[in-house]
Amino acid sequence: MAQAMKIAIVDDEQDMRQSISQWLALSGYDTETFASAEDALKVLGADYPGIVISDIKMPGMDGMQFLKKLMGSDSALPVIMITGHGDVPMAVEAMRVGAFDFLEKPFNPDRMSELAKRATGARRLVLDNRVLRRELSDGTQIMKKLIGASPVMERLKEDILDLGQADGHVLVDGETGTGKTLVAHALHAVGSRAGKKFVLVSCAALEEDALSRRLFGPMMPEDAQLPAIEEARGGTLVLEDIDALTETLQAKLLGVINEQGTPSETRIVAISNLQEAGKTCEDALRSDLFYRLAALRVTVPPLRQRGEDILALFTRLSEQFAEEYGCDAPQVSAQEAAQLLQAPWPGNVRQLINIAERAVLQARRGSGTIASLLMSDHEEMQPVMTTEGKPLKEYVEAFERMLIDNTMRRHKGSIASVMEELCLPRRTLNEKMAKYGLQRSDYL
């Protein structure tokens, strides 16, 4: 859920502080007030979850000095300056230093509310992006995003940990929607380049000339970034849809790789989507480039090979969507669990995400089934089954594990509550938890 934004009000006049605070509180904001810049600086640091409204003229540290201190701590913190009549030149200077905007006394309260809305919106976006960047540079956190304990997922995680420590270029292939870009992030996050630049370019999203400029330059005056090869220097450059590179661009890329030598200054992670099209990346690329990029290789498994991971993923996703839509997650029956396990999942995890969201929405309406959602995605499939049959015992065990896992999570590890809901004696519950690798400590 989105973090509530605070508004710090800094003014040496108590009446002004209180009137601003009361008005913004009526607008639904969480406010805190400070009588001086010095007091405010004890609380306001980098990543402050909100914005600042400050008078520009105050005894001691004035608003301009205060603004410069804040910008030095967090240049993306929105600061709205309040100026007196005739102080517009000072307000303009504040904008140059980094103020978000200014209000001239006497100001219109509605104008202040509008500025606060824009500033808090901008701040929330900045903080969300920072959290995402930290998650994508934190090997521990990003590996947790690779949900699943199936043998193929365990092997994938081991491959990521091993290859992440290497210096060679990596080719990541697999079917559409399996999470290849997440794997590329993980390879960067668990290796020695984790603190360096991570640059991602989609080779299929740009025409040849534009892609050439984006990768190698020269950049145009309106471009606000370096060529990707330069931008990623020392870090990781991810090339999605590497198969889309023309022969000319393949030659340029090979030249850059050869110039950088071994070990390469910039690591390239190439992502290929050709696997399910009956072609391979090797068919699409010149052989000398292919063998340089495929020095190390990771194949991301399709969802249909991941067994019980399907139920774990569906449960996690449906809970997230239920929280987002403010309703209860749908309860999955044994029959529906078997249908999820049997589905061929041509769209892989991306398709599962869509199914989970639609399942939550239709459950909120009190209608529809998971089977109908699976069939609506692939109407020609009669029935929705994989070509590989599985013993009934596997489906039953997968459902049983999911049911215990969900119930333990819902009751936050309360064994007594789980026993009561599932009508299981303690010994039986303990035996089943041990069998399925479930530990009470994970739910507390």
**For 123-180, what is each residue's pLDDT tens digit?**
988 887 777 666 665 667 778 888 888 899 999 999 998 998 888 999 999 999 999 9
SS3 annotation, 244-290:
HCCHHHHHHHHHHHHHHCCCCCCEEEEEECCHHHCCCHHHHCCHHHH
Mean per-residue pLDDT for 361-369?
A: 83
CA distances from 57 to 13, 63, 69, 90, 354 (A): 11, 6, 15, 10, 54
Query: Do 64 and 94 form a contact (C-beta atoms < 8 A)?
Result: yes
386-439 pLDDT, tens digit each: 444 555 566 677 777 878 887 888 888 888 888 888 888 888 888 888 888 888
**So what's the pLDDT on residue 266?**
92
**So what's the pLDDT on residue 386?**
42
Mean per-residue pLDDT for 176-201?
A: 90
Mean per-residue pLDDT for 180-198?
A: 89
Whole-angstrom distance, CA of residue 127 vs CA of residue 15: 31
**So what's the pLDDT on residue 294?**
92
**So what's the pLDDT on residue 384?**
39
**So what's the pLDDT on residue 17?**
92
Whole-angstrom distance, CA of residue 38 vs CA of residue 173: 55
**So what's the pLDDT on residue 275?**
58
**So what's the pLDDT on residue 108?**
87
Which residues are CB-contacts of 25 (< 8 A; sequence separation ≥ 6)?
A: 31
**So what's the pLDDT on residue 136?**
61
When the pLDDT of each residue in the chain is averaged and rounded to a whole number, the result is: 85
Whole-angstrom distance, CA of residue 360 vs CA of residue 352: 12
332-343 pLDDT, tens digit each: 888 888 888 888
Mean per-residue pLDDT for 38-50?
A: 91
Q: How does strand 6-10 pair with strand 101-104?
A: unpaired
Is the pLDDT confidence value at 269 over 90?
yes
